[in-house]
């Protein structure tokens, strides 16, 4: 069983993916965290030289990403918090647009899906990583609501930023993710669109559950 959840930043994908995985006894794979790990390693190793594709590819090739529960390890260092900073968020689409980086990540994601029942969230799951997933969702929400949700998360972590700046960052990120040539953010024809605007997590979950239960 494979469930693919794609959508723009802040649509609620990871929250709902974790809830579905727990309810259906499946494993959750946060593919965004993998690209975030690469951006984090790039920042640590060569600074913000995101135009240097060759070095970024070498870094991606030498980076070992591992998940343990809710923790993310990058070359055995716990980076769970570091990969969520606004700086890493801003630069992740810079590494995610590089074909060789995507190829490496997609290969690992498919390998993982071979021996796990997975709920995966990202941008290219239904289109590239798991094109044969039994259920595909495309989660969306009004951009202002997505920015407000992200602000609450950042404020809780002490990374407070103005709402307008967060909204601007999200819009830029979505534009980059939608317009790249490799694995762009796209709603595939067989994806079920779920608009999470104004809905609680439970409401979204119940809506998605009806579709999942049809194939389970």
Residues in the annotated binding site: 7-15
* Residue 124 binds ligand C5P (CB under 6 A): yes
Do residues 138 and 192 lie in contact, with contact meaning Cβ atoms separated by under 8 Å? yes
How many CB atoms neighbour CB 79 within 10 A? 20
- Residues 83-122 binding ligand C5P (CB under 6 A) are 92-93, 96, 122
68 versus 214: smaller Cβ distance to ligand C5P: 68
Query: Minimum CB separation from ligand C5P for residue 1, in Å?
Result: 19
Helix (H, G, I), strand (E, B) or coil at 6: strand
- Candidates 161, 136, 132; CA nearest to 147 is 161
Helix axes 86-96, 31-46, angle to 10 degrees: 100
* Residue 31 binds ligand C5P (CB under 6 A): yes
- Residues 195-214 binding ligand C5P (CB under 6 A) are none
26 versus 95: smaller Cβ distance to ligand C5P: 95
Query: Minimum CB separation from ligand C5P for residue 50, in Å?
Result: 12
- What whole-number distance in Å separates Cα of residue 140 and Cα of residue 14? 13
Binding site, annotated residues for ATP = 7-15
């Amino acid at each position: 069983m494979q469930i693919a959840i794609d959508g723009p930043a802040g649509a609620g994908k990871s929250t709902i993916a974790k809830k579905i995985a727990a309810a259906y006894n499946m494993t959750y794979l946060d593919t965004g965290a993998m690209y975030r790990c690469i951006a984090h390693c790039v920042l640590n190793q060569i600074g913000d030289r995101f135009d240097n594709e060759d070095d970024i590819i070498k870094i991606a090739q030498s980076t070992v990403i591992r998940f343990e529960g809710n923790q993310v390890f990058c070359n055995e260092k716990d980076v769970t918090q570091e990969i969520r900073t606004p700086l890493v968020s801003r630069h992740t689409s810079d590494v995610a647009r590089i074909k060789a980086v995507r190829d490496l990540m997609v290969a690992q994601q498919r390998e993982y899906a071979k021996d796990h029942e997975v709920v995966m969230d990202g941008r290219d799951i239904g289109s590239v990583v798991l094109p044969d997933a039994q259920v595909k969702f495309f989660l969306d929400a009004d951009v202002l609501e997505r920015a407000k949700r992200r602000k609450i998360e950042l404020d809780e972590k002490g990374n407070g930023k103005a709402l307008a700046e967060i909204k601007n960052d999200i819009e830029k990120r979505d534009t980059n993710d939608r317009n790249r040539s490799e694995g762009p953010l796209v709603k595939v024809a067989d994806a079920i669109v779920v608009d999470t605007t104004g809905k609680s997590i439970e409401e979204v979950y119940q809506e998605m559950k009806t579709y999942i239960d049809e194939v389970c």
